[in-house]
């Protein structure tokens, strides 16, 4: 589902879409992603250019393979290392400084930072 670029500010209405596998929220106005942890089948999540600063709820999306956090307010990503299927992480334009824990993840193929 692509909602990128729209004036969306909250994601709570998406919680019923538990079979959703791809979600593009890039360049929207959302700042909170707590409600997304219900999307247990999500494989790809694009939050590029949003006001999200806390990505901890994303660590509960165990099927997640790709997450784009570029140009967000996220500063910490160590918790994402717990995601068993994570292969791609985009962190360009963030203030994340420590990616050691995440970089040691076995399945990770792409880690784009700064």
Residue 39 near residue 17, CB atoms below 8 Å: yes
For the chain, what is the largest distance between any 2 Cα atoms, rounded to a whole number of angstroms? 37
Q: Name the band, by pLDDT with cuts 50, 70 and 90, for residue 103.
A: confident
Residue-wise pLDDT tens digits, 29-54: 999 999 999 999 999 999 999 999 99
| Cα distance between residue 43 and residue 67, in whole Å | 8
State yes or no: pLDDT of 74 exceeds 80.
yes
Where is 65: in which H helix or E strand? none
Q: Does 2 or 77 have the greater pLDDT score?
A: 77
Q: What is the residue-averaged pLDDT of the chain?
A: 91
pLDDT of residue 28 exceeding 90: yes
Domains and CATH numbers, the chain: 12-113 (3.80.10.10)
Is 30:10 a contact under the CB 8 Å cutoff? yes
């Amino acid at each position: 589902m692509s909602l990128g670029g729209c004036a969306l500010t909250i994601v709570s209405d998406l919680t019923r879409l538990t079979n959703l596998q791809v979600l593009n929220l890039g360049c929207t106005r959302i700042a909170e992603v707590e409600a997304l942890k219900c999307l247990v089948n999500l494989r790809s999540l694009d939050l590029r250019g949003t006001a999200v600063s806390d990505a901890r709820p994303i660590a509960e999306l165990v099927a997640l393979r790709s997450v784009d956090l570029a140009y967000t307010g996220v500063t910490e990503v160590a918790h994402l290392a717990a995601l068993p299927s994570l292969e791609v992480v985009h962190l360009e334009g963030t203030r994340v400084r420590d990616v050691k824990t995440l970089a040691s993840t076995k399945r990770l193929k792409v880690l784009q930072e700064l």
